[in-house]
């Protein structure tokens, strides 16, 4: 099962249909931390660069313009290389 799925540069029309501009924004400086998702999350990276590594899995690089799905229950490590800002929606 893919715990992190990424769509690079989704169309503006898709983002509009999803209502992403109305989602809250989360921002964080360069840092490294562990995280476990207690809900599924969809996010759209507005700026920055981060590597998210699932426990026991392969690292996934996320950058500006990526639409990302994180599966509920995912435990991972976030390594923020450039300060990040993202819209997010928890399910």
Give the model's pLDDT for residue 55.
96
Give the model's pLDDT for residue 2.
78
Helix (H) or strand (E) holding 34: strand 31-36
Specify the pTM.
0.95
Give the model's pLDDT for residue 31.
98
Domains in the chain, CATH or no CATH each? 4-90 (2.60.120.10)
> For the residues 7-23, what does the mean pLDDT come to?
97
Give the model's pLDDT for residue 30.
98
Please provide the DSSP assignment of 37-65 as one string.
Answer: -SS-EEEEEEEEEEEEEETTS--EEEETT
What are the tens digits of pLDDT across the range 20-63?
A: 999 999 999 999 999 999 999 999 999 999 999 999 999 999 99
């Amino acid at each position: 099962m893919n715990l992190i799925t990424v769509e690079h540069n989704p169309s503006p029309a898709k983002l509009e249909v999803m209502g992403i501009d109305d989602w809250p924004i989360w921002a964080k400086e360069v840092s490294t931390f562990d995280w476990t998702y207690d809900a599924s999350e969809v996010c759209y990276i507005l700026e920055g660069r981060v590597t998210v590594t699932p426990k026991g899995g392969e690292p996934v690089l996320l950058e500006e313009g990526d639409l990302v799905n994180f599966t509920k229950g995912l435990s991972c490590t976030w390594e923020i290389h450039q300060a990040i800002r993202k819209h997010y929606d928890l399910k």
